[in-house]
Every structure is written in structure tokens, then in C-alpha cells.
Amino acid sequence: MSIRVLCLSLLLLLGVAPAASAADGWSLVPVGGGRPSFYGEGAPGTVLEDSVSVINRSGGPVTVRLRGAGVTFADGTLRVPGRTRADVPFTVTVPAADRMVEIVARDADGRERSVGIRLRVALPELSALTVEHVAVRGDGIAYELVNRGTTTLVPKLAVRADGVFDRPLDRTPRTLPVDLPPGSRTKLTEPWPDRPALDAVDVRLTVTAAGGASDTARVSARFVPWDAVAAVGGALVAVGALFVVRHRRRRKPHGGEVAGAERTLAEAELTGAGT
């Protein structure tokens, strides 16, 4: 009895399986089998070619229309006989940025099937960077690094400053503790605690990275000890003020003598005294 029940169960399962397959009717898959979706890469504007399959598992024919953003089909509408597979070539253009596109097939009853196309922009490896906005501020040299290429960079920095009297700064290339992704901009400061007190210098920053990336930026700076200048200026002002005071004191006695002589002469004229 148990054997008969098992056999009946198997027959029921076998009967359901074809029904489920027939319910699927038709499907849309990449040509070649084993691929759940399409994948393509290339430089922007590259035209890629591939094919998509419409598989009709039913006993009767099915007519489908194909569409996809940016996708051109060799045949956008096709009739697929029962138990038949039709392969449709198509082309798609790689956009300027990574993108996901869908190929959609629709039958006369409005049923749709779709398969994705992942498009990846593959740019040529380019190593390039620039040094910008260099300025001497406080006890350091501020600057910005910009990755102008398509690869991540680990830059090296060399710094040199030439002054009127000597070379106050000369540092050989060393690796900076930063990673620069493509298109990134990073602000950095190079310490310079022992900068000169009095000098005029030309500062040069040279940055290099793997792949031949290199750039140099320059900036001029003038160092003046303003505290000392202010002290000297104050001393000069004090000396000048003292000189003016002394000069005025010297002129007062002479002025008094002249005034006294004028008064004596006036008194003589009033009394009628003669000489």
C-alpha cells in the first residue's frame, strides 16, 4: 500500500512539473547560458555587442517586443514558435559613468520579462596631480594636492626654500601619510618652526607619485621681526621728542632777552631819558 502511495506521489510531482514549466511560457536570458545578466566595460562611447535569447517553452508561438535604454536590437519584434529559442543580437554604448540598463521583452498579453546589463566605465590608467594654493602661514607652509588622474596616488613631497642669505629649508622627498583617490582634493600643511626671522625667501614644493605624476609650485615670502621694528621705531620717536623739547628750551632764554630789551627801550622813551 505504501509503495502505491509513493508511486502516486511521484506521478503527481511529475505532472505538476510540466505544468509549472508551461506556466512560465517564455523567458528572456543572455545567450551562452550560465549568465544571470549582462556585463560590459570600456571607455565612454565604446560600442559593445552581445545577444539575448527569447526561449519559448510553450507549445504555441509567442510574439515579443524588445526595448532597452540605449540598446539597439537587430530585430526589435520577433515571433518565436513553440519550444524554440530565438537569439537576438544587440549593441549598447558605454556611458560616461557606470550605469545599469535593462532589456525588457513584452508579449501580446502584456507579460514582461527583463534582464539587466551592467555597464562599467573602464578608463585608461592615468597618473597625474597638481600642487595648488601654496602659502606660508605661521610656522608652516599650507598647500593643496589634487589628483587629476584615474588611479589612487600615494604622493611624496620635497621642500626647498632659497633666501637672500642662505638656504633655510631643504627637505628631501618623503612619503606623505595620505592616499589620494581619483578626483580628490586634500589640504595639508608642512611644518616650518625654525623659519628665518629676517629674510626674503622663494619656497618650492615638489610632489611626485607612482606612474610619473609630478608637479611643482612656488611662493615667495618675506620675514620681518616686527616686534624689533616696533621697539626701534618707539625708540626713534622718543629720541625725536627729546630733541624737540631741548630745542624749545634753548630758544626760550633768547626770546626773554629780546623782550626785556624792548621793555627797557619803551621805558626810556616814556621818561624822556636820553643816552
Could you tell me which residues come within 8 angstroms of residue 115 by beta carbon, excluding any fewer than 6 positions away?
Answer: 28, 29, 30, 36, 37, 38, 52, 102, 103
pLDDT values of the chain reduced to their tens digit, one per residue, 275 residues: 332 322 222 223 333 333 333 346 999 999 987 899 999 999 999 999 999 999 999 999 999 999 999 999 999 999 999 999 999 999 999 999 999 999 999 999 999 999 999 999 988 889 999 999 999 998 999 999 999 998 999 999 999 999 998 899 999 999 999 999 999 999 999 999 988 889 999 999 999 999 999 999 999 999 987 554 444 444 454 445 555 545 565 655 554 444 554 454 445 444 444 44
Which amino acid belongs to residue 104? V
5/10 Cα distance (integer angstroms): 9
**In a 10 Å sphere around its CB, with 0-12 CB exposed, 13-18 middle and 19+ buried, how is residue 120 labelled?**
middle
SS3 275: coil
